[in-house]
Structure 1
């Protein structure tokens, strides 16, 4: 059984966070067991806060704490919680006479919104309702899930979100050739849909234009940052163990630990401030400063912090722990792959285009 590390806190006190500790400890015990982690995700979806409803910081503390325990576990829980939030947001956006699906409290959900060349999923509306046909790439754990929020191209030339039952006979999940050394438990492959009934969520354009799209993107960044906290704790614990064995850290190691500390502290403070802005309804409210541009700033800042922590810790700890310390090597590989959901300079280019139009706080 893995020991759960201390929680990653933004503005909660340890006492405030204590009611959530048992589930985080359960995540530690379930590391590597995807069915058990999915069951915990379903449980979390019933009780954890939703973004934008007053306790966004607590939600991000929970996600970060799970990732500090095991990065892959966060990669299991976060999509289910995002789907729960999307369904709740769709409920608020639903028009009379246009029902949305009530996500079963026992179903494990995913969110499939990626696009790729050669894969296209289309939604067709008819008298009997909407069906999905085509292919969707990068569908993590699709074969293990019950349902998913899926984006598809619509008859009017836009894109919309839909809720689908992944157990429908028209759904076929490819067995992905997943050779990654990171996130080995989380294979992502293509799913094929053949006239699969789907329930529309919010209409064309709603999925990407809602504030919750930005909030969900920052939730992923909270997972990245939690993983980096776990790496930093490995580094500090290694230095402490060396000191106990008579090998005091030199100035280079101490300088690296100091940079790790200020890098993570700055990113955690940024997340805390952003969560407060979301709950106060002020995120993106200043002039032309949009919620999505702020999400891109947060994600880019956190991704850069994660990359720096990975580099500092790897270069200072050397090859030994990567070769012989299983949990540390897994954490490093998992986090290096997970943070690649940020597209680096391409995401910065998108932010630059927004800044050029005046969508910036400066």
Structure 2
């Protein structure tokens, strides 16, 4: 079914504008790029953890904003970094859109920007998007920073019909016949997927996932207190196991951060892959425990738990999870991951 005119409308809603303001305010106190300092990196991860604990859709857009800002500041030149800092001071909110439309990948054709992106989180609320050309060709991926006010895409909102993360405004976007400007280029071809920041940057969304698990714990605990069910042996046992999931998730993220500055690139990537695998497993357990604790009430959309469960379930579906598990196994076999106390 083709999207209607209203679904293709590019004007942001009031909710989208409010989310944009929240993202800008939450990131204002961070020192970016954060990967150059242990304290700054921890502050960034804690920011995303607390965002996920509060609202995972908010955390998703915030994580994309932080990612885009760090990339421009590290891969762009001094003029581009200065322009970005000026835009940020005026409330700019960024995102990274790197998944091409299957039928129309983003490209430059006859001097014009054509095609689009899928899974474009924040579409309609971002001021700027960092997009990729030549997707799939790792050595030649070229980043472009687009001012979405000057070059607004058509937004197809009919596609994002999912059970969770609705408020992340994740849509299909498409450009047609926009004159290409060389000044949009950020860095050189291949800069985007340089390690350890590309794969290692997954630790940001893992921190948000860990916060999401803490949010499940908060909501289940509050429900049990409100309904007077904390004296139940079964309920206290489930709450204890849910706390275990939340605590282990946070500990896992913190452990990666604490070792980051002492590890080689290969060790960093293995540690992040392990954290992603571990937190995803703990999240699945936490979701089941939350459902068992609250019962049918956990599925009422108007309740405080349903949205957190559904958002976390969707947010966990990051690309190539099986490949990351295989990376962990290979790293363990090669001695990059060794258990110890």
Q: What TM-score do the two structures reach when normalised by structure 2?
A: 0.81
Helix, strand or coil: the match of 1:206?
A: coil
Tell me whether 1:79 sits opposite 2:79 in the alignment: no
Aligned pair count reads: 314
CA contact (8 A) 2:99 2:117 kept: yes
Unpaired runs of 5+ residues, structure 1, are 1-31
Tell me whether 1:336 sits opposite 2:336 in the alignment: no
Q: 1:38 to 1:299 in 2, by over 3 A?
A: same
Name whichever of 148-157 and 67-76 sits farther off: 148-157
Alignment of 1:104-183 (within 5 A): 104-105=87-88, 106-115=91-100, 117-123=102-108, 132-153=113-134, 158-169=140-151, 171-183=153-165
- Give the one of 270, 276, 290 matched to 2:258: 276
- Give the one of 319, 332, 336 matched to 1:360: 336
Q: CA deviation at 1:179?
A: 1.7
Q: CA deviation at 1:297?
A: 1.4
CA contact (8 A) 1:160 1:204 kept: yes
CA contact (8 A) 1:303 1:339 kept: yes
CA contact (8 A) 1:109 1:148 kept: yes
Q: 1:49 to 1:334 in 2, by over 3 A?
A: same
2:271 alignment counterpart:
294
Q: 1:315 to 1:196 in 2, by over 3 A?
A: farther
Alignment of 1:251-262 (within 5 A): 251-262=233-244
Q: What TM-score do the two structures reach when normalised by structure 1?
A: 0.76
Q: 1:170 to 1:293 in 2, by over 3 A?
A: same
Unpaired runs of 5+ residues, structure 2, are 1-13
CA contact (8 A) 1:171 1:191 kept: yes
Looking at structure 2, the residues matched to 211 and 109 of structure 1 have their Cα atoms a distance apart, in angstroms, of 22
Q: 1:170 to 1:311 in 2, by over 3 A?
A: closer
Q: 1:101 to 1:350 in 2, by over 3 A?
A: farther
Helix, strand or coil: the match of 1:209?
A: coil
Q: CA deviation at 1:108?
A: 1.6
1:230 alignment counterpart:
215
RMSD: 2.9
1:318 alignment counterpart:
295
